Amino acid sequence: MLEATELMVFYENMLALNNVSIKCDDGQIIGIFGSNSAGKSTLMYVLSGIILDIQRKEVMRGGERISVFGRIALDGQEITKFKPHLRAKAGIILCPERRRIFPESSVLENLKIGAYLSSKKDAKQNLEYVFHLFPRLTDCIKRQGGFLSGGEQQMLAIGRALMARPKVLLLDEPLLGLSPAYQKLVVDGVREIRDAKGISIIVTEQYARPVIPIIDYGYILENGSNMLAGSREELMDNPDVKSAYFGV
Amino acid sequence: MEGRVPACGWGSAAGGGDASPIRSNRRAGVIVEFLLYGIINSITLSLLSLGFTLVYSISRLPNFAHGALYITSGYIVWLLLNRLGLPYPIAVVIGILATGFIGALIYRFILIRIRGMEISEIIATYAIGLAIIEGLRWGGLRGMTFTLPPFFPGSVILAGVSVDYQRLSIVAIGALTFLGLYLFTHFNKLGLALRGIAQDERAAMMLGIDSDMTAVVSLAIGSGLAAFAAILLLPLGNIVVEAGYSVLIYAIAVCIIGGLGSWGGAIVGAFIIGFAQILTEAFLSSHFQMVVALLAIIVTLLLKPSGLFGKQKELEERV
């Protein structure tokens, strides 16, 4: 179970996350919805620890001052100070916005690099599972990551994250720029991962409609604050949410 | 044209090899000689620059101490051989490991604090290199008395051209090194992690790869490769501190022509400079070797600043 309490993030004096608390129980799919600059990616960076790396690089460059407050715990163990690679080791794997595939490596190599934390046996099993989950990837196994289409890249990014045997999988805008057909493939894949492997998943989106059917619980972020939280039905029945995030 | 033997003596400042001159006035002999020594010279250059390229491509650290590490390893092996009287193979292994260790220390204690600030990285690594080179000079590494014995003595006549075994072994061992590195970075978990970090540091972190660890490893391997090159090449000349500077310039020239961070590019760049040097040797004089490398840098920066195989723009992300 991943639990983040009272997260606050400042970029210089700008408040990017304001007192956000979220909770993800084992085997749940959590949705986080919000428009651009609502703080979705920042939240993902905080949960995955990438914010600590950004912070360190900014300090070295004498750039922006980033301050992070709050507590994050995974299965009761406090991981707030863990560096990104240690969080990954603890089981929090981020599949980042815009996918960030390794462009010069082939599909297979991308997956193999993803298997850095797994044993040889796990890697082999997971590799088979990824190809079972996204059969399209088998067609372009030797192709360079940079030459894949956006949808294929997204499947590869999720597959690569799975190779790292996550306990909690963070998906940052996995549907960004995908056609409805690919969106469906990805959403079905996400549900299948949870059902088959019991992996908890936190997924962010700007537009809630494609994702809402698969989530157990959802949060709405606005200007860095958690405006609303509720189960799938509660969110779907709320008139404000409907107009802002469902386009009804 | 008098069949002058192109010098591949990377240890000595003047670049004087110790191979005996060839007396061959047949045209075929000249062509074979040109090809053979061109290849030897090119592989030599790529071995010299391999460590530099590797560190830059993985960690984006320009290791300007590369030449200093090269000459340090030669000196370490010399000390082990002559002062401690260790057998040659053991001295070589210790020399490579020790130099790799020095590289790792340089990252762990100095570069880790300034990572990401390019100018500081250059200044710091160059300062370390200067300190090492001038420290060695001050410590007594002067004159022409420091030599390593070739481990494959003797020479052979190939198609009318005399080549010593040491130079031939450079070609073979160089090719094996490239193959070994290819296998390491494509089939080994750590090697794959290094390539992941090289392509997208942050994405690799998200998969559990520690970028400080990979930087230490890349500097250790890069320095070890510098040592490896030194031990192969120094027996062709003397161990002189000035080689530290020229090796660095050759490494930079090769990398700039090939495109910084591109391994294939570095090998192509080495072949371009390697053959260009052999040509200037044949038609001008061996003193122009360094001029060729520097001119190549200037021409590349003027015509194609990213180098022949610089980062591919067409692979930019698709949305």
- CATH number of the domain residue B237 falls in: 1.10.3470
Q: pLDDT exceeding 90 applies to what percent of chain A?
A: 88
Query: Between residues B15 and B108, which one has the greater pLDDT?
Result: B108
Say if residues B103 and B224 touch (Cβ distance below 8 Å): yes
A100 CB within 8 Å of a chain B CB: yes
Query: Between residues A9 and B144, which one has the greater pLDDT?
Result: A9
A231 backbone dihedrals φ, ψ, rounded to 5°: -70, 175
Q: What pLDDT, on a 0 to 100 scale, did the predictor assign at position A248?
A: 61
Residue B128 has pLDDT above 60, yes or no: yes
Residue B223 has pLDDT above 80, yes or no: yes
Residue B1 has pLDDT above 60, yes or no: no
Choose, out of A116, A176, A206, the residue to mutate when testing the contact with B (most B CBs < 10 Å). Answer: A116
CB spacing of A177 vs B319 below 8 angstroms: yes
Domain ranges of chain A: 2-246
Mean pLDDT of B231-254: 93
CB spacing of B195 vs A105 below 8 angstroms: yes
Query: Between residues A37 and B66, which one has the greater pLDDT?
Result: B66
Chain A's closest residue to B190, CA to CA, is A116
Band (B311; pLDDT cuts 50, 70, 90): low
Among A residues 167-226, those touching chain B with beta carbons less than 8 Å apart: 176-177
Of the partner residues A61, A89, A100, the one whose CB lies closest to the CB of residue B208: A89
Band (B8; pLDDT cuts 50, 70, 90): very low
In a domain, B63, yes or no: yes
Say if residues B217 and B262 touch (Cβ distance below 8 Å): no
Neighbours of B135 (CB within 10 A): 13
What is the value of ipTM here, to two decimals? 0.94
Please give the C-alpha separations between residue B221 and each of B52, B161, B191, in angstroms, as whole numbers: 10, 35, 11
Mean pLDDT of A173-199: 95
Number of folded domains in chain B? 1
Mean pLDDT of B293-309: 90
pTM of structure = 0.89
**Tens of pLDDT, residues B161-191:** 888 899 999 999 999 999 999 999 999 999 9
Mean pLDDT of B226-241: 93
- Containing domain of residue B105, as a range? 27-308
CATH of domain A2-246: 3.40.50.300
Residues 6+ apart with CB under 8 A from A80: A70, A71, A72, A73
A67 backbone dihedrals φ, ψ, rounded to 5°: -120, 135
Band (B135; pLDDT cuts 50, 70, 90): very high
CB spacing of B315 vs A164 below 8 angstroms: no
Residue B13 has pLDDT above 60, yes or no: no
Query: Between residues A76 and B152, which one has the greater pLDDT?
Result: A76
CB spacing of A94 vs B189 below 8 angstroms: no
Residues 6+ apart with CB under 8 A from A197: A129, A162
Choose, out of B61, B186, B207, the residue to mutate when testing the contact with A (most A CBs < 10 Å). Answer: B207
Q: What pLDDT, on a 0 to 100 scale, did the predictor assign at position B25?
A: 55
- Please state, in angstroms and rounded to a whole number, the distance separating the CA atoms of residues A154 and B153: 57
Q: What pLDDT, on a 0 to 100 scale, did the predictor assign at position B155?
A: 87
Band (B314; pLDDT cuts 50, 70, 90): very low
Q: Which of A170, A168, A160 is nearest to A116 (CA)?
A: A160
Q: What pLDDT, on a 0 to 100 scale, did the predictor assign at position A245?
A: 81
In a domain, B318, yes or no: no
Of the partner residues A50, A105, A148, the one whose CB lies closest to the CB of residue B202: A50
- Please state, in angstroms and rounded to a whole number, the distance separating the CA atoms of residues B59 and B197: 7
CB spacing of B206 vs A53 below 8 angstroms: no
**Tens of pLDDT, residues B20-73:** 444 445 677 788 889 999 999 999 999 999 999 999 999 999 999 999 999 999
Residue B271 has pLDDT above 70, yes or no: yes
Say if residues A155 and A184 touch (Cβ distance below 8 Å): no
What number of H helices and E strands is found in chain B?
A: 12, 2
Q: Which of B248, B237, B319 is nearest to B286 (CA)?
A: B237
Q: What pLDDT, on a 0 to 100 scale, did the predictor assign at position B7?
A: 44
Question: What single string gives the DSSP state of each residue in A106-123?
Answer: BHHHHHHHHGGGS-HHHH
Question: What single string gives the DSSP state of each residue in A35-62?
Answer: -TTSSHHHHHHHHHTHHHHHHHHHHHHT
CB spacing of A161 vs B189 below 8 angstroms: no
Query: Between residues B16 and B235, which one has the greater pLDDT?
Result: B235
From chain B, the residues in CB contact with A114 under 8 A are 207
Among A residues 44-83, those touching chain B with beta carbons less than 8 Å apart: 48, 50, 53, 57, 60-61, 83
Q: What pLDDT, on a 0 to 100 scale, did the predictor assign at position A140?
A: 93
The whole-chain average pLDDT of chain B stands at 87
Mean pLDDT of A214-238: 93
CB spacing of B206 vs A84 below 8 angstroms: yes
B188 backbone dihedrals φ, ψ, rounded to 5°: -100, 140
Band (B289; pLDDT cuts 50, 70, 90): confident
**Tens of pLDDT, residues A68-117:** 999 999 999 999 999 999 999 999 999 999 999 999 999 999 999 999 99
Of the partner residues B114, B203, B312, the one whose CB lies closest to the CB of residue A100: B203
A124 CB within 8 Å of a chain B CB: no
Helix (H) or strand (E) holding B79: helix B66-82
In a domain, B3, yes or no: no
